[in-house]
Amino acid sequence: MEIFYSLQEFMTYSKGITYLIMGAILILMPLYWLFLTDRDEKKETY
Amino acid sequence: MGISRRKFLGWFGGLSATAATAASTAIAGGNHHFEGHPDTMGVLHDINRCIGCRKCEEACNTVNELPKPEKPFDDLSVLDQKRRTHADVYTVVNQFKIGNEKKHVHVKKQCNHCMEPACASACFVKAFKKMPNGSVVYDESVCVGCRYCMIACPFNIPAYEYDNAFSPKVTKCTLCYPRVQKGLLPGCVEACPKEALIYGNRKELIKIARERINKHPDQYIDHIYGEHEMGGTSWLYISGTPFSEIGMREDLGVTSAPELTSGPLSAVPIVVGLWPVLLTGIYAISKRKDKVAEEEKAEAVKAAENAADEEMKKQIAKIKQDAAKDKEAAIKREVKNALDEAAKEAEEKAKAAAELTETADAAPEKKEDE
Amino acid sequence: MMERPSRISIKPMITPINVVLGIILAIGCVLTVLRFTGGLSVVTNLDDNNPWGIWIGFDLLCGVALAAGGYTTSSACYIFGLKRYHSAVRPAILTAFLGYALVVLALHYDVGRPWRLPFPIFWQQGTTSLLFEVGLCVFLYLTVLFVEFTPAAFEWLGFPKLREKIVKLTILLTILGVVLSTLHQSSLGALYTIVPSKLHPLWYSGYLPVYFFISSMFAGLSMVLFEGSLAHKYMHDKMDETHLRESEGIVLGFGKAASFIMAGYVAIKVIGLSVDNNWHYLFTGYGAWFLLELIGFVALPAFVYAIGVREKNIRLIQRTAVWTVLGIILNRFNISLIAFNWHLPSAERYFPGWMEIAVSLFIVAIGIVIYRFVTTHMPILYEHPDYRSDH
Ligand code: SF4
Ligand code: SF4
Ligand code: SF4
């Protein structure tokens, strides 16, 4: 693990990763929703 | 009705989460505590020793190869005005008259090289960086020129080249990073004739400062400016005059810039994680309501249809019944007619036979028939 | 395609509005040249103590807040299922898209090296900065709005297949839009959480992001109402029956929503006062100014909205919308300019120069011209006859 000497460094690093995770969440959530509702009777998306 | 309440409640649920995170500030690094790099260097400015000769300003101007100012550095009349750093002035010495004793106090001002720099926290391209040796350096090659660093700096230090159309830069003291890398002292420190500036390891400087205060409690107020201000700074100051009287704000607090923004920043990923769930939920509910409404409608129609059906059936049945009755009646009629006819025929035949056979005795039979 | 002779208007080219727009555009072009050849100091009053002027205070902060109608309207219609607001969605999306595009345009004037604006997103990310968050979200949201807007353009150009594909994504785009809007609307307020020492305590608060987000909701709703009344006045011939029929319900519904959200906003502002124990500041000059903003430009319009809704007074609601919009502008100005650097002596304070104001007007004028072009040519205020009732 990296050694952080300041909160600023620590946050740059941790927020950087968090932003990547946020991107992943925004992509995965809709896919998961589709998976979840896949077998429902045809729902109309409009 | 609809929009106001539902929307408000919907958003409100999530909001309370946002508010909760925004309000607490300690989320930044969990329970981590950061002391800064052990090699952090700094400068101790002993304000009591400063005589306002502006030698440091001159040295800074030279080592940073800045344009020469209109008035030469040995012209002390500029001290009459309160000045701040500018694009081509990385450091200034200000003079303050204290009380009616006609005592003059001089304070040097430049970037304080914060332990947790607000400018670095604010910059959206990471143009500022706190180096292991304590310098907060600026990388011109990425700077967009949004000037948020200038907004953020609690000491109002960074300046901007507003008159440069094509490659404007933010400028500030570098703690002479290039010189220090070469093993030289910062220009201003080297030039100071009174040792009002001492360059050294920050921890050592704090010790020296504390010693001076302890040794001469009558000459110094018991406060090392920069030890804790805004999370601490690499430049440290000791003085015999209250800092607020010599242009240094004492109301900055000890919370560093990254801590101040950590609340809102930590709310961001939570919104990303939960908003889709919340909104999809509301969407699904309103969708479901629509569907239920639709189904109810469909059911009502069906029920109506069913009711109509029943009626119809009844009617059909009735019609059928009626028809059956009619038929029966008709058959009965037919049968009756047939029977009647047959009976008549038989009768007539009988009559005829009787008439034929009984020619003499007809009267009594006729009576019987009637 | 059906003929719509009633919607093709033959307007005289030289009207007072057009003349004023023309003059502003001409001056703006000159100032643009000045700005990009001479630097910021030629056209602005900015200095080292006041690095952000009205190009941030008005163009960015007010621009983004007033363009919030896009996410409020589309989420009301698609997420909360209030279908009767459907005819309000397209105009709202259009103004939001235009608004954000203009905000980005304005930023090109304000930042020192606009050609580097993509740097924070694609080159080196300053992840600890709230401005990074704002930049990223505005960039993404502009894209989302653009995609949301394309069906109208596709109908106009006649690409039914492409339009069909985008329409299928509506709900996804709407949710993404609300997420991004929540983030950058609140982060604009959070920009100022880093400066407790510069912003007056009455305006500084840990709740700043929440204040900005909530106020963006009623800002957006009021802006939709305001634009709606303008469009009715000047673009009446472009509207179809659905739009005209639904508009009264929209005005009442939005007025009601805005009024109640504003009440909530007043409540959390008071909570903010109490949490930071700032009561004593209320009795200073800044306190009076603060109360003017909170009571005169939030609480009162909220109340008047309520009267308008109760009495079904459309004109009153539309006038209150203007009042509320002014209140939002006042709030953003207070935070970015008036209560910012409040501790500095007045000589070191900022006041915008006429050229800065002219550039801001220039950008608004560009917006009006584009809005007029789009609403006269694309199916915004009416439904395209070939695509009726299925979007
Ligand atoms: S004093 Fe200002 S410019 Fe210098 S490091 Fe601190 S925040 Fe940055
Ligand atoms: S002006 Fe430059 S250094 Fe300052 S915050 Fe903006 S991009 Fe960063
Ligand atoms: S450290 Fe260097 S850059 Fe900073 S004030 Fe001194 S001479 Fe100037």
Cα(B135) to ligand 1 centroid in Å equals 10
What pLDDT sits at residue B76?
83
What pLDDT sits at residue C158?
82
Distance, in Å, from the CA atom of B58 to the CA atom of B74, rounded to the nearest integer, reads 9
DSSP state at residue B233: B
What pLDDT sits at residue B355?
53
- Output the residue whose Cα is nearest ligand 1's atom 6: B114
The Cα of A39 is separated from the nearest Cα of chain B by a number of Å equal to 15
**Parallel/antiparallel/unpaired status of strands B41-46 and B92-98:** unpaired
What pLDDT sits at residue C163?
85
Question: Is residue C21 included in any domain, yes or no?
Answer: no
Question: Is residue C17 included in any domain, yes or no?
Answer: no
What pLDDT sits at residue B4?
42
- Other beta carbons within 10 angstroms of residue B161's beta carbon come to 19
A8 and B121 within 8 Å at the Cβ level: the answer is: yes
Whether the CB of B169 sits within 6 Å of ligand 2: no
C175 and B283 within 8 Å at the Cβ level: the answer is: yes
Question: Is residue C64 included in any domain, yes or no?
Answer: yes
Task: Say what the pTM is.
Answer: 0.83
Q: pLDDT of C345-391, one tens digit each? A: 888 898 998 999 999 999 999 998 998 888 888 877 777 776 754 44
- Ligand closest to Cα of B197 equals 3
Listed in sequence order, the residues at least 6 apart from C9 whose beta carbon sits closer than 8 Å to its beta carbon are C237, C238, C376
What pLDDT sits at residue B307?
77
Which chains lie within 8 Å of chain B at 3 or more CB pairs, if any? A, C
Pair C271, C280: CB distance under 8 Å: no
- Ligand closest to Cα of B137 equals 1
Element (H, E) at B137: strand B136-138
Distance, in Å, from the CA atom of C366 to the CA atom of B132, rounded to the nearest integer, reads 49
Backbone angles phi, psi at B229, to 5 degrees: -55, 130
- Output the residue whose Cα is nearest ligand 3's atom 8: B60
DSSP per residue, B25-75: -TTTTTT------TT-EEEEEEGGG-----HHHHHHHHHTTPPPPSS-TT-
Coil, helix or strand at residue C176: helix
Torsion of Cα atoms, C245 then C246 then C247 then C251, to 10°: 140
What pLDDT sits at residue B15?
45
Question: Is residue C74 included in any domain, yes or no?
Answer: yes
DSSP state at residue A44: P
Question: Is residue C228 included in any domain, yes or no?
Answer: yes
DSSP per residue, B78-112: GGGS----BTTBS-EEEEEEETTTTEEEEEEE---
What residues in B contact A29, CB-CB < 8 Å? 276-277, 280
The Cα of A19 is separated from the nearest Cα of chain B by a number of Å equal to 7
What pLDDT sits at residue B353?
53
Per-10-residue mean pLDDT, chain B, length 370 = 41 44 44 79 92 90 90 84 89 86 86 93 93 92 93 94 91 92 91 91 92 92 92 92 89 90 90 90 85 82 78 75 71 67 62 52 45
Cα(B142) to ligand 2 centroid in Å equals 8
∠ CA C242-C98-C385, nearest 5°, is 30
Segments in chain C below pLDDT 50: 1-10, 389-391
Question: Is residue C25 included in any domain, yes or no?
Answer: no
Q: By residue range, what is the domain housing residue C112? A: 32-37+54-382
CA C338 remoteness from chain centre: 20
B195: alpha, beta or left? (left if phi > 0; alpha if psi -120 to 50): left
C116 and B145 within 8 Å at the Cβ level: the answer is: yes
Whether the CB of B21 sits within 6 Å of ligand 3: no
What pLDDT sits at residue B168?
92
Nearest residue on chain A to C169, alpha-carbon basis: A46
Domain tally for chain C? 1
A4 and B32 within 8 Å at the Cβ level: the answer is: yes
The Cα of C184 is separated from the nearest Cα of chain A by a number of Å equal to 14
Question: Is residue C4 included in any domain, yes or no?
Answer: no
Q: What is the mean pLDDT of chain C?
A: 87
Q: pLDDT of A1-46, one tens digit each? A: 568 888 888 888 889 999 999 999 989 988 888 888 877 765 444 4
